[in-house]
Structure 1
Amino acid sequence: MNKIVLQPIDKMSLGLIVAFTAVIGSLIGLDKLCGTACFIRNGPRVQHFSWQDQIVSSKDQAFILTFDRPMDGASVEQNLVIDPPLPGKFSWAGRRLAYTFNTPVPYGETYQVQLTDAQERFRNDLQAGHVIEPFVGEFQSRDRALAYIGTQGEEQGRIVFYNVTRKVKRLLTPPDSTVVEFKFYPDGDRILFSAADKNKGIEGLRELQLYTVTTGVNKGVESTTQTAGKIELVLDNETYQNNQFDLSDNGEIIVVQRVDRKNPADFDLWMVKSGAPPERLKVTGGDFVIAPDSQSLAVAKGEGIGILPLEPGAEPLDFLPKFGQLLNFAPNGAAAATVDFNTDDANLRYTRSLFYVNNQGLQKELLTTQGSIINCQFTPKGTQLYCLLTQLLPAKEYKEQPYFAKFDLKTGKMTPLATLTDYQDIKVSLAPDGLALIFDQVVTSDNPNLTDKLTSNSGQAIIGGQLWLLIPPNANKPNAQAELKELPLVGFRPQWLP
């Protein structure tokens, strides 16, 4: 018998075959023996989670899961768990899954996204795919927090910030100034406010200056690095008297109503941008609101509401001649709640009507009343409207009773929510996640010796104020009722953190 003589290259090839066979066998054995704890896995996995360790707000509507290979969509959708639960809908684009929420993410929560037992997808549907590596992701929503102007003790006339989630309360503005109005910046890290020296009393309304103050919040949650109470001057009062103002949704533009101190007939709206001098818009009128696009302005004029670009001397983009007041824009800017004072109809004299209008030309009447239409705010999705209204009571003296109502904008149906005992300068703020309204009820006095106190819109001295929470009924519970809760906070003009 001839003896087979292996050449060096044959020996090397045989050795490699044996080695590779051993490696492959060991990998197969390890995969079966070590379960999910293996450092070597051949199953699918989540490659990227768009909200991992992120802080989200009400404007964040969907997250994306990206897988490393095509997946069986049904098995993913059946096994995806969000804790606490967040109802939503699935949509796929290749290996990417988008989960869009039905309603905004509730504030003040930490959420886990878990996925197990989902399978990959093979072209041959008869063959079962590998099971996904267990995935756990985490994100959190912004803190539930609010600010208001205090009325008692050391809080009087100062902005009080209260973080409901963390149970943290602090005073933001100094004790020697009285705050008249304020608005949050979109990230919640600062507040824009108007204030005057406390010693000036009611005369301080003619001496208002605009400032910013830091809140101690970063990206919507309490921060250990963000200093609270840091104040910067935005607009002085040397030449002009500063009145009402508004802040754009992107936080980059302030519009303020100003009057020349030497010439009261010089009455105009001014625009203030960061790092630039104030710029006259050459626009006169009554109440005004910056639109959600941060590029246009709604101004009430004697004959209607003008929509103008935020540019000096620009021509109007649109004009609504029928309406005398714009209450609020829908979050996407495509619709608004307006008031018609019915001056053109003798049969409707002494009444006013609430309308829903949109950019498609729709003008839908929701209510006609002899009472007042004080405030209306859209829900985050823009499908409903919460309003503070009054009804005229049958009595010898003129008296209005305030109440809250909800309007379904598709059907026009009005649902009363709660009736209040008294009305005076009520300020309403809807939570960014749409789950609650906060409002105030002030206590005033006509005592002329209290002129150094805070003042209401009617010029009366404010000697107290109570904050209330209104929780609308759960839409999934047909017989549910709205809840009205008195908060242990004393103040007025409350606003939620965005």
Structure 2
Amino acid sequence: MTTKSFLQPLDRIAIAFMLLLSVLIGLLILQGDVVAARVRDFSWQNQQIGAEDISFTLTFSRPMDAKSVEDNLKIDPPLAGKVSWSGRRMVYTLLTPAPYGTNYKVELQGAKDKFAPPEDKKRVIQPFLGQFTTRDRVILYIGADQEDKGRLVLYNLTQEQKTVLTPKELVVMDFKAYPDGEKILFSARASNNQDLLSAKVYTVTTGISAKVGASATTAGLIELVLDNKDYQNLKFDLSPDGQTIVVQRGNRKNPSDFGLWFMPANVPSGEKPQPQRLQSQPGGDFLITPDSKAVAIAQGQGAAILPLQKDASKPLDFLPQFGLVQSFSKDGSQAAMVKFNTDFTKELFLVTNQGTQQPLVKTTGSILSCQFDPASPTLYCLLTQLVSQAQYIEQPYLVAIDLKNQQQKPLLVLPVEQRNVQMSLSPDGLALLFDQVVPETNTSKPSANNLKTDEGEAIATSSLWLMPLLPISDAAISTIKPEKLPLIGFHPRWLP
């Protein structure tokens, strides 16, 4: 009599498979975990960044030993920064904006898994190589030669390419760049009209795309934003987020109807934006705040901060001792404000959102403009000093003010006759642009399309200059010399 087997063929196969799987698991346990960690995501991979981009993230497939990652992370060219962690994600925050016109590589190798034994050389990260680039160094200016007279010109310093954005029929008077650099908001009058109060407001495309690989629009596409039929468009500003336009307007038929209007800066194609009157007291010079939600305006005997809404009769804040806001820091925590003294001098103050007011500089001349350095606690200012009381002759000069100790470092003294100077600080804080306007001396035969300064003085020609602002010692400051650019124009501005 034979013994009947209780195991069916399928049972024997299953048992054999389980035994084999157990052996394999045992071998894996004996051998250890050899799956190497890797970078799953690099937030700036193949991206183009600007000054507003201040941090990137590396996301890992496994928990990492933080010190080994930080010790082995290499950025070429180097970018100083600080590291923070959230689980498997590392955030690298730049201390200063990345210099423009540069290609960067991010390399990581030799970093260890968080749970790897110190002697285990198999648990290191898979080598990683990432790359990104910064925007080209691009400037904008109003042409002053015969060919580009009064036209808005874009010049790419990185690629040495020039693009004329506006037609000969328009004489550009002022302009502001959108934060992505893809469009410019500008005011212009007709070339056959000398009336400085006849400006209309337009946008024009630059042909530059803020995103790598994205198809850029054609340069020079113009759209009318605001006409001058019923109101004169005097001054305007574009909010830092590029969403709101504020325009100072005056009624053509009723001079007492004068004040600020605001409107959306971006509307669907084919739709016309509708400006709204800011119900508030009339004022003078104005500037939109860094949060894009309010406007600072010289009003009465001080400076008022008005909300960007229809009813702005109640200011958010009022500073009676200051008559003008020159500039805000990028985060809005500081402002450069001007005080007009009874002895006819002007004084520049650093005012913080904590209520402190620190005097910086006092001058018998004018405080023309100031800009905060995004890379260091420095304020760059264009000032004038009165050199002749009788004829009221002013000499302009550039100065850097250290906001930590209020020390002044003179950068450049400009000729006495160069009163109509304008400057612009690069978005990475590494260079200053300024112009040198030559006034027209022969005014016996005025041309219909004569270029004019903000004060109405005719312009014969103008040169553009670039001054590097690399970190320097006090002893070396006099060795920095501005470079004359091979461009003829005025009112220079950096593209963001």
TM-score between the two structures when normalised by the length of structure 2: 0.90
User: Does 2:347 correspond to 1:353?
Assistant: yes
Please give the secondary structure, in 2, of the residue aligned with 1:174.
coil
Q: Are residues 382 and 79 of structure 1, via their aligned partners in 2, closer, same or farther at CA, if it must alter by over 3 Å?
A: closer
Q: Are residues 449 and 220 of structure 1, via their aligned partners in 2, closer, same or farther at CA, if it must alter by over 3 Å?
A: farther
The aligned amino acid for 1:401 is Q
The percentage of aligned residue pairs carrying the same residue is 47
Counterpart for residue 468 of structure 1: 465
- Superposed CA RMSD in Å reads 2.8
Report how far residue 195 of structure 1 moved: 0.8
Q: How does 1:67-106 map to 2 (within 5 A)?
A: 67-106=60-99
Counterpart for residue 301 of structure 1: 299
Paired with 1:377 and 1:389, the residues of 2 have a C-alpha distance of: 12
Which of 412, 418, 424 lines up with 2:419 in the alignment? 424
Please give the secondary structure, in 1, of the residue aligned with 2:338.
strand
- Conserved 8 A contact 2:76-2:104: yes
Paired with 2:224 and 2:120, the residues of 1 have a C-alpha distance of: 69
Counterpart for residue 233 of structure 2: 242
Paired with 1:427 and 1:454, the residues of 2 have a C-alpha distance of: 15
After the TM superposition, which of the residue ranges 218-227 and 402-411 deviates more from structure 2? 218-227
Report how far residue 73 of structure 1 moved: 1.4
Counterpart for residue 155 of structure 1: 148
Report how far residue 383 of structure 1 moved: 2.0
Unaligned runs of 5+ in 2: 268-272
- Conserved 8 A contact 1:327-1:338: yes
- Conserved 8 A contact 2:429-2:469: no
Which of 30, 50, 54 lines up with 2:43 in the alignment? 50
Counterpart for residue 342 of structure 1: 341
Paired with 2:495 and 2:127, the residues of 1 have a C-alpha distance of: 36
Q: Are residues 234 and 336 of structure 1, via their aligned partners in 2, closer, same or farther at CA, if it must alter by over 3 Å?
A: same
User: Does 2:310 correspond to 1:322?
Assistant: no
TM-score between the two structures when normalised by the length of structure 1: 0.90
Which of 397, 406, 409 lines up with 1:403 in the alignment? 397
Paired with 1:153 and 1:23, the residues of 2 have a C-alpha distance of: 82
Post-superposition CA distance 1:77-96 (Å, at most 9, x none) = 11111111111111122211
Counterpart for residue 454 of structure 1: 451
Which of 309, 312, 318 lines up with 2:310 in the alignment? 312
Post-superposition CA distance 1:353-379 (Å, at most 9, x none) = 110001111100011121221111001
Paired with 1:489 and 1:120, the residues of 2 have a C-alpha distance of: 55
Paired with 2:275 and 2:89, the residues of 1 have a C-alpha distance of: 47
Report how far residue 216 of structure 1 moved: 0.1
Counterpart for residue 34 of structure 1: none
Counterpart for residue 37 of structure 1: none
Please give the secondary structure, in 2, of the residue aligned with 1:218.
coil
Please give the secondary structure, in 2, of the residue aligned with 1:74.
helix
Q: How does 1:76-475 map to 2 (within 5 A)?
A: 76-122=69-115, 130-200=123-193, 202-203=194-195, 205-219=196-210, 225-273=216-264, 274-275=266-267, 276-283=273-280, 284-314=282-312, 315-343=314-342, 349-381=343-375, 383-393=377-387, 397-422=391-416, 423-446=418-441, 447-452=443-448, 453-475=450-472
The aligned amino acid for 1:236 is D
Report how far residue 10 of structure 1 moved: 3.6
Q: Are residues 19 and 78 of structure 1, via their aligned partners in 2, closer, same or farther at CA, if it must alter by over 3 Å?
A: same
Paired with 2:116 and 2:72, the residues of 1 have a C-alpha distance of: 22
Post-superposition CA distance 1:404-428 (Å, at most 9, x none) = 1111112111111122223322111
Counterpart for residue 16 of structure 2: 14
Report how far residue 21 of structure 1 moved: 5.0
Please give the secondary structure, in 2, of the residue aligned with 1:285.
coil
Report how far residue 225 of structure 1 moved: 3.6
Report how far residue 193 of structure 1 moved: 0.7
Q: Are residues 434 and 377 of structure 1, via their aligned partners in 2, closer, same or farther at CA, if it must alter by over 3 Å?
A: same
Paired with 1:396 and 1:238, the residues of 2 have a C-alpha distance of: 43
Please give the secondary structure, in 2, of the residue aligned with 1:76.
helix
Report how far residue 17 of structure 1 moved: 3.8
Q: Are residues 223 and 13 of structure 1, via their aligned partners in 2, closer, same or farther at CA, if it must alter by over 3 Å?
A: closer
The aligned amino acid for 1:322 is Q
Paired with 1:489 and 1:104, the residues of 2 have a C-alpha distance of: 27
Unaligned runs of 5+ in 1: 32-39, 344-348
Report how far residue 400 of structure 1 moved: 2.2
Paired with 2:372 and 2:119, the residues of 1 have a C-alpha distance of: 50
After the TM superposition, which of the residue ranges 362-371 and 13-22 deviates more from structure 2? 13-22
- Conserved 8 A contact 1:430-1:437: yes
Paired with 1:67 and 1:256, the residues of 2 have a C-alpha distance of: 49
- Conserved 8 A contact 1:390-1:400: yes
Report how far residue 394 of structure 1 moved: 6.3
Paired with 1:161 and 1:393, the residues of 2 have a C-alpha distance of: 36
- Conserved 8 A contact 1:61-1:101: yes
- Conserved 8 A contact 1:418-1:482: no
- Conserved 8 A contact 2:170-2:188: yes
Paired with 2:212 and 2:481, the residues of 1 have a C-alpha distance of: 27
Paired with 1:333 and 1:220, the residues of 2 have a C-alpha distance of: 27
Paired with 1:228 and 1:191, the residues of 2 have a C-alpha distance of: 11
Please give the secondary structure, in 2, of the residue aligned with 1:292.
coil
Post-superposition CA distance 1:13-44 (Å, at most 9, x none) = 33564477579979999x9xxxxxxxx96111
